[in-house]
Structures are given as C-alpha cells and as structure tokens.
Amino acid sequence: MGGVGRHLGFWIGAAAFVALAFAMALTVRNEYAFFAGFVVLQFIVLATAWNILGGYAGYVNFGTSAFFGIGVYTAVFLLKAVAAPLWIQIGVAALVGAALGLGVGLLTLRLRGIFFSIATVAITIIAETLITNWKFVGGATGVQLLRPPVTEPFDSYIKMLFVIAAVMVVIAVALARYVQNSGLGRGLRAIRDDEIAAECSGVPTLNLKLVACALSGALMCAAGAPSAMYLQFADPVSAFNLNYSVSALAMSLIGGTSHWIGPVLGAILLATTQQLLTVTISSEVNVLVLGVMLVLFVVAAPEGIIGLARRLWRWARRRTS
Amino acid sequence: MSQALLQVDGVSKRFGGFTALDGVSVDIRPGERFGLIGPNGSGKTTLINCISGVLSSDLGAIRFDGQDITRLPAYKRTRRGIARSFQVPRPFRSMTVLENLLVAIDFAVIGHGLSTRQADAEVYAILDKIGLADKAHVSSSQLSQVELRKMELARAMAARPKLLISDEAMAGLAGAEVDEVLDVLLKLNAEGITVIMIEHIMQAVMRFSERVMCLDAGRVICEGTPQQVMADKRVQEAYLGT
Ligand SMILES: Nc1ncnc2c1ncn2[C@@H]1O[C@H](COP(=O)(O)OP(=O)(O)OP(=O)(O)O)[C@@H](O)[C@H]1O
Ligand SMILES: [Mg+2]
C-alpha cells in the first residue's frame, strides 16, 4: 500500500522534473542558465553514481575522474571515428563504463579500506596517461569538436544537453533508488557494516561489489560523454580532473550516503554554490569552499544533510508530544 | 556407521612463521553435539575460520555433506549449511536486529520463496527462542554485550544451518543466561542440527557435549567423551601449564 504510493510519488516527481526541464528549455531565453544548470545536473549523476559503491557498500572510490574522463573520450572517439550521434555516445560510454567497472573491480575490490581507495587513484593516473599518448583523440593538447546542428524542437544545443542531462539524472536516481530498496542494497549495507559477517551470512560479497562497481562506472562514464559536446573541446587534464573525484565524494558525504536523496541534495547544494562562486568571485575559491564545507559536515553532521534532517525531525516530534 | 557430516583432514594454518593449526583432523557425525576446548590461543577460532571459509587452510582438506569444500568461498559454505557465530560479535550496525537476521535469510537460504511476512515470522520465531523478540526493532548498535552474543547465534540460526558453530557464545554471560543459551543449543540439536560448541565454561561443555576435543598449540591433544577428556593428563597440563 504505502509501497505503491511511494513508487507512484517517485515517478510522478521524476516526470514532473523532466517536464519542467523541457518547458524551461522551450521558454527561457538566457542560455547561461542552461550552461550552469547542465553542470549541476551532471554532478547529481556523478554523486549518485559514486554513492552506489562508495556510500551503500562503503568502498571509498577516488576514481570518479577516471570513469568521467573515459566517458568524455568514448564520445570523442565515436565522434571522430564514425560521427556517432549524441545518444549513441552516451549509450556506448555507459557500456564502456560498466565493462571498465567490472575490470577495475576485479583488480581492486579484493583490497579493503584505504588500499582500495589508493588503487582507484592509480587508475585515474593510468587512464590519463594512456589518453595523453593517444594521438587519434588529440593527445596532450586536446581536440576541438564541432557540434552537429541542433535537433527540433530545441533552438540551441546547450538547451538540448540540459534536457538530456535531466533525463540522465532521472535514470541515475531511479537506478540508485532501485539498488537501495532491493536485496542488492541490503547486501551492500551488510558489506559496509561488516564484510566478514556478511560473507558468513551467505552474502556473495565480491559479486555484489562488482555489480555495484559496474553500475557506478556505467553512470559515471555516461555522465562524462555529453561533456565533449558541451565544451566542444576535450583535453586530458580537464577530462580527468581530480575535481570530479573529490566533488562526487564530497557531495555524497555532505548530502548523506544512506539514502539516494543524499547525493542529490549534496550535489545541488555544492554544485550550485560552485557555479555562483565561479561567476561572482573565481573558480579557485571553489576548492576552498568544497574543503571547508566537507570539514564542517564531517565534524558537525557526519551523516550529512539526511542525518541533520532526521535529528531535526525527531527533535520536533519530541517537542510536540 | 553413518557418514560424517564434516570431515576435517590434516588442516594446517600458518600466520607468517607461526603455526596456528598443525595437521588437525576430526570427523563430526550428523546430529552430534561436539565440544571444542583448549587454552587461549590454542587455535580453536582459527579452526572454525578454516571450516567456515573466513580463512583458507594452507594444507589439508575439508569435506561437508560428502563434498569437498576446501576451496569454496565462505558464502557458499554458509549456503550449503555451515553457519557460525563470532567470538567477538560482528553485528551489521546500521541495521535493526530484525534486519540483521533478514540478511541471513535473504542470502543464505537460496530459493526460500518466503514472502516478506513469512521471512519476518521466521525471524520472530528465532528471536523468541533466543529471548530477543522485544529487541527486533532496536538498532543492533544499541544492544548490550550479552544481547549481541545472542544475536550472533540468532543470525547463524536464520541461515537454516545443518551445522551450527558457536564460538564462545556464553562468554561474559551470568549463570542463568548460560543455562538459557545452553537450552537453546540443546533445542536446536534436538531439531536435528549438528552443533560444535567452543566454550571455556567447563560445566557447560560437560553438560552439552557428547564428544569433546581439546586443542593445544594448534594440535589435537585429546578426543573422547567429556569425562575422558577431563580426566586426561595432557588436557590438565595444557590448562594448568603456562
Ligand atoms: N589473523 C591472524 N594473524 C596472525 N595471527 C593470528 C591470526 N589469528 C589468530 N592468530 C594467532 O593464532 C593463535 C590461535 O588463535 P585462535 O584465535 O585460533 O585461538 P583460540 O583458541 O580461539 O583462543 P581463545 O580461546 O583466546 O579464543 C593465536 O596465537 C593468535 O594470536
Ligand atoms: Mg577463539
């Protein structure tokens, strides 16, 4: 009963969200709103993706930028090789991300704790080095890309990208929500709490971690793919920028990792702040703000915005009763 | 003679240069109540870790239910019917007691075909048996040490084991509680579950076990009826020495 209502509520909300994005794209003139909005949406996808492995299973992954960058370059490659349309770029990037997640997972997921995290940093360095030395996709200097003409009913490519990003947000969040509420989610939570006890309770820990890593990787790569067309340029230093790894992690932790809404709230809060700061002050301040907010939350609200909300809710109930 | 449920055959385990298990062999019969004793650090938990798959043994073979499980990952052993409790409790801290047990039902009892409500009912039945029913919706991070030990056993039971291994489930319990847990283990055994009990409380071991084995420094030094083992010189020396 409550379950059906909640599902319905979620999908109505999701549909309304996409409809709103679409309506905005058709009516709002100012392109800058979409430029900034796209980045916020992209970070929601990244943080949501990060949380599937990093939050639900507790495997803190510093490799977001590796997956993101490979998503960017999957798109670049497909553009240059076969002039593939955008949706093919995104779809193939998701497949590449899933395969990469499986491969990386097989190599690193037997490591626990800090060793896993360090291995994921190494993956980023390896991926960036490989792309830097690959001439076909531009090598170290990067590559200029031409946008194809925009599809009806949109009047600008950026607006179209914005709506596509909104759809990707819905897909990512729906997937994370499904994982959270399924048996997989309970298994991942058991792994996060105590991996040995989980294994001894029949949880196939390695398999579940691999599934989580593949899903997470697929979403991260998919998030990177439209970036190529967004910037009309790609170079290894920005595609594999460590900022993606740090931001995805910080957004999830600040929002709260135990529920899918956490990374969404964290991404909206942080990415919006960053966008405003970039306009008003400078992009260098971003890193500082990110750091300060992360420290504040880790100290004052270790369970993120979700934890804060829960505490407030309990406090309010005690006052009224 | 009926075939052994668990056959441990020459199992050895080293940690660096230290030999924790040195060629341990033992057969456990179906339905048996088996006591495992030995002084601190004698290798009891290490043996259980090798049997349950938490550690892989360096040498030797382990057979369960007629099949070789020496190289099987722990989760597959649990699914085949080996469940254990941990000496130092390992709860899923973000979950309630009920959810802790549901993990075991969901993942260890493959194809159980239980509806959510039936699974809950099974959990309540287990919690009732072990005296934790009133804690079902309490977060496991808020349990007392005694309650955590009980939940360890309850979670192992939720996996519907053929063989239940209890690693010092009674440590730190008061007299009446020891009897309670002992009664639970006896009841389970009466239902047909084979039980290996590791325990330092000798009265409990004596009351419970049909057969007792004593480890010392990674080797089996004695095996027999509880009376035989208690009377054995080497066992007495192992406990008195050091
Ligand atoms: N993972 C490990 N790494 C290194 N040494 C270990 C490890 N596990 C156990 N040991 C050592 O192996 C020996 C046997 O330990 P084990 O825990 O099996 O003893 P035990 O009989 O269960 O003792 P207790 O009655 O205190 O629980 C001890 O000396 C212990 O320090
Ligand atoms: Mg022990």
Say yes or no: CB of residue B49 within 6 Å of ligand 1: no
Q: What's the CA-to-centroid distance between B218 and ligand 1, angstroms? A: 10
Residue A231, token pair as written in the block: 């910037």
Residues of A in contact with B90 (CB under 8 A): 194, 196-197
Distance between CA A240 and CA A66 in Å, rounded? Answer: 6
Distance between CA B193 and CA B75 in Å, rounded? Answer: 19
Q: Which residues of A195-231 are buried (b: 16+ CB within 10 A; e: fewer)?
A: bebbbbbbbbbbebbbbbbbbbbbbbbbbbbbbbbbe
Distance between CA A35 and CA B230 in Å, rounded? Answer: 80
pLDDT tens by residue, B113-138: 888 899 999 999 999 999 899 999 99
Q: What's the CA-to-centroid distance between B20 and ligand 2, angstroms? A: 12
Ligand nearest to the CA of B218: 1
Q: How does DSSP assign B178-206, residue by residue?
A: HHHHHHHHHHHHHTT-EEEEE-S-HHHHH
Distance between CA A276 and CA A39 in Å, rounded? Answer: 12
CB B14 within 8 A of CB B190: no
Residue A2 above 70 pLDDT? no
Residue A290 above 60 pLDDT? yes
Confidence at residue B2, expressed as pLDDT on a 0 to 100 scale:
58
Confidence at residue B133, expressed as pLDDT on a 0 to 100 scale:
93
CB A201 within 8 A of CB B77: no
- Interface of A to B at Cβ within 8 Å reads 183, 186-187, 189-190, 192-194, 196-206, 258
Residue with tokens 């080797």: B219
pLDDT tens by residue, B14-23: 999 999 999 9
Identify the weakest region by mean pLDDT among A38-42, A64-68, A214-218, B231-235: B231-235
Residue B219 above 90 pLDDT? yes
Residue with tokens 């973000």: B94
Q: What percent of chain A has pLDDT over 70?
A: 99
Boundaries of domain holding A14: 3-320
- Strand (E) positions, chain A? 143-144, 233-234
* Mutation site, B78, B93, B103, interface A, largest A CB count within 10 A: B103
Complex ipTM: 0.93
CA B77 to chain centre: 13
CATH number of the domain where residue A202 is located: 1.10.3470
Residue A286 above 70 pLDDT? yes
Residue B1 above 70 pLDDT? no
Of residues A3 and A269, the one with the higher pLDDT is A269
Distances (CA, A) of A245 to A35, A46, A139, B37: 21, 9, 22, 51
Torsion of CA A269, A274, A279, A280, to 10 degrees: 80
Name the residue at shortest CA distance from atom 16 of ligand 1: B43
Domain count, chain A: 1
Confidence at residue B175, expressed as pLDDT on a 0 to 100 scale:
82
Residue B242 above 60 pLDDT? no
pLDDT tens by residue, B85-99: 999 999 999 999 999
Confidence at residue A289, expressed as pLDDT on a 0 to 100 scale:
81
Q: What percent of chain A has pLDDT over 90?
A: 64
| Predicted model pTM | 0.92
For all residues of chain A together, what is the average pLDDT?
A: 91
State the pLDDT confidence band at A1, using cuts at 50, 70 and 90. very low
Average pLDDT over residues A242-261: 93
Distance between CA A14 and CA A22 in Å, rounded? Answer: 12
Distance between CA A115 and CA B10 in Å, rounded? Answer: 34
pLDDT tens by residue, A46-105: 999 999 999 999 999 999 999 999 999 999 999 999 988 999 999 999 999 999 999 988
